[in-house]
């Protein structure tokens, strides 16, 4: 068990492609850090550089205080769980789990004992003599985990270990991985593109985009205080609604003008974000989480706290109802939102004849809204998010607790 | 047969089949039924008959080798079915008493086994390097190896014979030695062997090798404990091919072996007479040279296991 340090790590492939830029992370001993981001954001490359499967082009990687840039993978004493599990097909489960130990020339009896113990933790005891091809997906995944834990390495590296499982099994294995990691207390770096996995597993979550670290923070902080538009849009499901709005009024009585509608800002909002005052009269990007909106028919909606539109689509999820509607506000088109759209597989961002932005609100199941009905959404104006329209950075203030991008790159 | 039935309803979407699909449903059912009926009995019977027909010459050879020379000269081998008393092992005991035949049998073994083992070992190491190790010029080197595939044996006979003529030390002459024959076979077996194994090794999932690397494996351990076992089917088939090729070779032996180092094929060829029949030597000799490769094939065929990679990666 050890801490893992990445200092200004970069990866440039021989053909000039840059996969990772100036990545700085400090992972404490026993910490569970999740690297998350859309495909192609460099998270797997970063992990493979820690593993030693990918050469480190720039910067330094240290495991347990030892710089390992020039240390081959087999001597780094880290274990990796692969997305494909990478089980040895010609070996039994027992030999698969014990493979690393037998390469280290441990006595047979000791290997046996350690494999038995790992198998017990993972519930694989009765499958030890079977071959991987006779196992189910979940069991294969467990064997891959067993191969990692039996070695008692300095750190676990996991590369999307759950993405080949079906949804139900994924939730179950997710809990299991969390339990095993907590019990063993091994430093873990976990790569995923699934933000739910990131939020539920990580002690801290590092969000990456195009090879650059966007924010590292505990999951709740990531959700509450995203550092920029990209993190805001990536974390949370359904994603945060992002709209262009004009900040009007004065410091005592600020208002947001969104496509002809007005939201009054409670005084606390400006107090918390000193930088916001200087933007009065200008345009900002405002972010509204779907869960911060509620059907105005069900709750009290004071003046200046509601948005009205027509319901385009109503999705009943049982526990809540997702209502889609559009506002006559300009779409937010920045590099961040384009990247998010690319990740979601939509290319709707572009010039429209009239300003129009689609929103999703998460209403209580008691709502009576039907498709085509007029809908009034009560917005929790105290929980709005504000971003700079050019840089996409969250608007806070130097003396506020809000994180800025520069601080983040140093980790915590 | 189910494969035929499965294949039938999924033709390429050409206009013709699209038209058939609209109007020709009963016809396809008829065809499917025909295939099914044939597949059940007639087709299989036919296949068995063809296989048996193919075995007739071998059977004739075996029977002829078990008859006396006088019987063989007087009547066809099939008469043995009406007169089983003809059968005798006399030809075999006479043949095995011939010292030069027994020597040539051992020469064949001494040529074939090293030529096979060397090719398998060298080719699998080279194939691993070509498939999975990074070094400058790797792909060009591999291309050069592949290019060697097209060099016919015949063009190399005279240059190599001349070269062998120069290699002699301490009473050892490369030309006419077993070593010379083995080296020639190895040299001409390697390009195909490397080509075959490299392509097989390259299809092994990269993750497996990386997992072995993370588990603490050096290149050598990875080769020995992951690649070699996984390459089993390919290596076994390569070994069998190489064994058969060298065992049955006559051309290389005729050029490079002398009477001391000659394999069975060359010895048998030297026993051929133009006018008098000596089938009592040729038939048992040929049958003995045939039975060993057959035994090798049946011993190794269990390594042709399909789907050995199933379950490693999903």
Q: What is the largest CA-CA distance in chain A?
A: 77
Q: Which of A208, A230, A238 is nearest to A285 (CA)?
A: A230
Provide the pLDDT for residue B59: 87
Conformation bin of residue A65: beta by default, left when phi > 0, alpha when psi is -120 to 50: left
Q: Is residue B143 in a domain? A: yes
Q: CA dihedral in degrees (A336, A338, A343, A345; nearest 10)? A: 160
Q: Which of A362, A356, A357, A355 is nearest to A378 (CA)?
A: A362
Please indicate, yes or no, whether residues B106 and B138 belong to a single structural domain of this protein: yes
- Chain segment B241-267, per-residue pLDDT in tens: 888 889 988 888 888 888 888 888 888
Instruction: Report the residue of A86, A132, A151 to disrupt the B interface, i.e. the one with the largest count of B CBs within 10 Å.
Output: A86
DSSP A372-408: TSEEEEEE-GGG-EEE-TTT-BB---TTSS---HHHH
**Considering B25, B60, B92, which residue would you say is the last residue of a domain?**
B92
Provide the pLDDT for residue A208: 92
Please indicate, yes or no, whether residues B30 and B158 belong to a single structural domain of this protein: no
Q: Which of B87, B145, B111 is nearest to B256 (CA)?
A: B111
Task: Tell me if ipTM is over 0.85.
Answer: no
pTM of the model: 0.77
Interface membership of B312 toward A (CB under 8 Å):
yes
Distance CA B47, CA B310 (A): 31
Of B205, B215, B312, the CB nearest to A99: B215
Task: Identify whether the C-beta of residue A6 lies closer than 8 Å to the C-beta of residue A61.
Answer: yes
Beta strands in chain B, from DSSP E residues, in sequence order: 168-169, 172-173
Interface membership of A133 toward B (CB under 8 Å):
yes
Sign of CA dihedral B144, B145, B149, B152: positive
A138 membership: H or E segment, kind and range:
helix A137-149
Show the domain range for B209.
Answer: 98-303
Task: Identify whether the C-beta of residue A373 lies closer than 8 Å to the C-beta of residue A384.
Answer: no
Interface membership of B237 toward A (CB under 8 Å):
no
Give start-end residues of each CATH 3.40.50.300 domain in chain A: 4-229
**Considering B92, B127, B159, which residue would you say is the last residue of a domain?**
B92
User: By three-state DSSP, how is residue A11 classified?
Assistant: strand
CA distance B307 to chain A (A): 9
Residue B192, number of CB atoms within 10 A of its CB:
19
Q: Give the gyration radius of chain A's Cα atoms.
A: 24
Provide the pLDDT for residue B307: 38
A to B CB pairs, distance under 8 Å: 91
Please indicate, yes or no, whether residues B130 and B269 belong to a single structural domain of this protein: yes
Distance CA A41, CA A339 (A): 10
Task: Say which residues have a Cβ less than 8 Å from residue B124's Cβ, sequence separation at least 6.
Answer: B197, B201, B223, B227, B228, B231, B235
Provide the pLDDT for residue B144: 92
Interface membership of B84 toward A (CB under 8 Å):
no
Chain-chain contact of A89 with B309 (C-beta, under 8 angstroms): yes
Task: Say which residues have a Cβ less than 8 Å from residue A341's Cβ, sequence separation at least 6.
Answer: A347, A348, A349
Read off the tokens for A48. Answer: 């493979």
Distance CA A245, CA A260 (A): 10
- Relative orientation angle of helices A137-149 and A93-103, to the nearest 10 degrees: 20
Provide the pLDDT for residue A407: 42
User: By three-state DSSP, how is residue B76 classified?
Assistant: coil
Please indicate, yes or no, whether residues B63 and B161 belong to a single structural domain of this protein: no
CA distance A391 to chain B (A): 39
Interface membership of A131 toward B (CB under 8 Å):
yes
Please indicate, yes or no, whether residues B51 and B176 belong to a single structural domain of this protein: no
Number of domains in chain B: 2
Q: Strand order of the sheet with strand A374-379?
A: A293-295, A374-379, A306-316, A321-327, A357-363
CA-nearest residue to A155 within chain B is: B214
Q: Which of B49, B80, B193, B221 is nearest to B130 (CA)?
A: B193
A215 membership: H or E segment, kind and range:
strand A212-217
C-alpha separations of B12 from A74, B9, B16 in Å: 49, 10, 10
Please indicate, yes or no, whether residues B245 and B289 belong to a single structural domain of this protein: yes
- Chain segment A33-48, per-residue pLDDT in tens: 999 988 888 889 999 9
Please indicate, yes or no, whether residues B159 and B43 belong to a single structural domain of this protein: no
Provide the pLDDT for residue A350: 56
Interface membership of A135 toward B (CB under 8 Å):
yes
Task: Say which residues have a Cβ less than 8 Å from residue B24's Cβ, sequence separation at least 6.
Answer: none
* The length of chain A, given as a count of residues: 412
CATH 3.40.50.300 given to domain A4-229: yes
Q: List per-residue pLDDT tens for chain B, 314 residues long.
A: 344 444 444 444 444 444 444 444 455 677 777 666 666 677 888 888 998 999 888 888 888 888 877 777 777 777 777 777 777 777 788 788 888 888 888 989 999 999 999 999 999 999 999 998 888 888 999 999 989 988 888 888 889 888 888 888 877 888 888 888 899 999 999 999 999 889 888 888 888 999 998 888 888 989 999 888 888 888 888 888 888 889 988 888 888 888 888 888 888 888 877 666 677 788 888 888 888 888 887 877 666 544 344 444 44
Q: Give the gyration radius of chain B's Cα atoms.
A: 26
Please indicate, yes or no, whether residues B163 and B268 belong to a single structural domain of this protein: yes
Ranges of chain A with pLDDT below 70: 1, 347-353, 398-412
Read off the tokens for B174. Answer: 């490369």
Q: Is residue B202 in a domain? A: yes
Please indicate, yes or no, whether residues B146 and B58 belong to a single structural domain of this protein: no
Q: Is residue B308 in a domain? A: no
Q: What angle do CA B240, B246, B251 make, to 5 degrees?
A: 150
Please indicate, yes or no, whether residues B182 and B230 belong to a single structural domain of this protein: yes
**Considering B58, B92, B126, which residue would you say is the last residue of a domain?**
B92
Q: Which of B119, B153, B110, B114 is nearest to B251 (CA)?
A: B153
CA distance A201 to chain B (A): 24
DSSP B157-220: HHHHHHHHHH-EETTEESTBSHHHHHHHHHHHHHHHHHHHHHHHHHTS-HHHHHHHHHTT--HH
Task: Identify whether the C-beta of residue A42 lies closer than 8 Å to the C-beta of residue A20.
Answer: yes
Please indicate, yes or no, whether residues B66 and B166 belong to a single structural domain of this protein: no
C-alpha separations of A165 from A32, A109, A171, B181 in Å: 21, 34, 9, 56
Q: Is the peptide bond before A238 cis (omega within 30 degrees of 0)?
A: yes
Of A86, A104, A147, the CB nearest to B205: A86
Q: Is residue B314 in a domain? A: no
Provide the pLDDT for residue A1: 67
Instruction: Report the residue of B211, B232, B235, B313 to disrupt the A interface, i.e. the one with the largest count of A CBs within 10 Å.
Output: B211
Chain-chain contact of A85 with B217 (C-beta, under 8 angstroms): no
User: By three-state DSSP, how is residue A210 classified?
Assistant: coil
Please indicate, yes or no, whether residues B186 and B295 belong to a single structural domain of this protein: yes
Contact list in B for residue A73 (CB cut-off 8 A) is 210, 213-214
Distance CA B114, CA A103 (A): 31
CA distance A397 to chain B (A): 45
């Amino acid at each position: 068990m050890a801490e893992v340090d990445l200092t200004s790590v970069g990866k440039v492939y021989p053909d000039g492609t840059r996969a990772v830029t100036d990545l700085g992370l400090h992972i404490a001993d026993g910490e569970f850090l999740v690297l998350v981001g859309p495909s192609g954001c460099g998270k797997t490359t970063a992990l493979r550089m820690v593993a030693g499967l990918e050469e480190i082009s720039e910067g330094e990687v240290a495991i347990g205080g030892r710089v390992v840039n020039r240390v081959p993978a087999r001597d780094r004493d880290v274990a990796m769980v692969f997305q494909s599990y990478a089980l040895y097909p010609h070996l039994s489960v027992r030999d698969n789990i014990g493979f690393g130990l037998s390469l280290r020339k441990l006595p047979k009896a000791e290997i046996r004992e350690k494999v038995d113990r790992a198998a017990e933790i993972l519930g694989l005891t009765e499958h030890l003599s079977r071959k991987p091809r006779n196992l189910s997906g979940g069991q294969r995944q467990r064997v891959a985990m067993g191969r990692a834990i039996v070695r008692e390495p300095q750190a676990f590296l996991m590369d999307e270990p759950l993405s080949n499982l079906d949804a139900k099994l994924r939730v179950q294995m997710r809990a299991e991985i969390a339990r095993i990691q907590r019990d063993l207390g091994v430093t873990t770096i976990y790569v995923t593109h699934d933000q739910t996995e990131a939020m539920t597993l990580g002690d801290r979550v590092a969000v990456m985009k195009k090879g650059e670290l966007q924010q590292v923070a505990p999951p709740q902080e990531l959700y509450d205080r995203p550092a920029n538009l990209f993190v805001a849009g990536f974390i949370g499901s359904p994603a945060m609604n992002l709209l262009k709005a004009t900040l009007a009024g004065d410091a005592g009585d600020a208002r947001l003008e969104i496509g002809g509608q007005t939201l009054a800002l409670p005084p606390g909002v400006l107090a918390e974000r000193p930088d916001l005052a200087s933007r009065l009269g200008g345009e900002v990007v405002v972010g509204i989480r779907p869960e911060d909106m509620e059907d105005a028919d069900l709750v009290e909606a004071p003046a200046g706290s509601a948005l009205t539109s027509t319901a385009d689509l109503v999705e009943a999820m049982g526990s809540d109802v997702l209502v889609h509607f559009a506002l006559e506000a300009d779409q937010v088109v920045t590099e961040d939102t384009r990247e998010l759209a690319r990740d979601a597989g939509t290319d709707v961002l572009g010039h429209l004849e009239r300003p129009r932005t689609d929103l999703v609100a998460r209403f209580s199941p008691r709502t009576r809204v039907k498709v085509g009905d007029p809908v009034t959404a009560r917005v929790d104006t105290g929980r709005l998010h504000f971003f700079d329209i050019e840089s996409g950075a969250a608007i806070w203030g130097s003396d506020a607790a809000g994180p800025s991008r520069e601080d983040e790159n140093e980790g915590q | 047969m189910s494969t035929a039935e499965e294949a039938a309803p999924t033709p390429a979407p050409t206009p013709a089949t699209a038209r058939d699909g609209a109007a020709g449903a009963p016809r396809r059912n008829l065809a499917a039924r025909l295939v099914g009926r044939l597949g059940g009995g007639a087709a299989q019977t036919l296949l068995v008959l063809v296989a048996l027909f193919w075995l007739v010459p071998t059977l004739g050879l075996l029977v002829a080798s078990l008859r006396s020379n006088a019987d063989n000269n007087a009547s066809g081998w099939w008469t043995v079915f009406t007169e089983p008393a003809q059968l005798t092992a006399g030809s075999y005991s006479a043949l095995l008493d011939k010292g030069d035949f027994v020597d040539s049998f051992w020469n064949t073994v001494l040529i074939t086994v090293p030529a096979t083992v060397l090719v398998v070992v060298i080719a699998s190491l080279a194939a691993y390097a070509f498939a999975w190790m990074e070094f400058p010029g790797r792909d060009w080197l591999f291309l050069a190896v592949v290019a060697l595939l097209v060099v016919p044996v015949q063009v190399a006979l005279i240059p190599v014979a001349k070269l062998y003529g120069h290699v002699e030390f301490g009473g050892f002459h490369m030309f006419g030695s077993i070593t010379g024959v083995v080296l020639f076979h190895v040299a001409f077996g390697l390009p195909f062997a490397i080509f075959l194994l490299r392509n097989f090794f390259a299809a092994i999932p990269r993750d497996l090798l990386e997992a072995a690397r993370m588990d603490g494996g050096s290149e050598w351990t990875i080769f020995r404990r992951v690649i070699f076992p996984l390459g089993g089917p390919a290596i076994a088939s390569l070994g069998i091919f190489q064994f058969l090729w060298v065992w049955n070779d006559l051309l290389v032996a005729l050029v490079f072996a002398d009477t001391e180092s000659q394999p069975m094929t060359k010895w048998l060829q030297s026993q051929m007479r133009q006018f008098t029949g000596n089938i009592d030597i040729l038939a048992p000799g040929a049958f003995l040279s045939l039975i060993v490769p057959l035994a090798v094939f049946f011993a190794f065929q269990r390594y042709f296991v399909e789907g050995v990679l199933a379950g490693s990666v999903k």
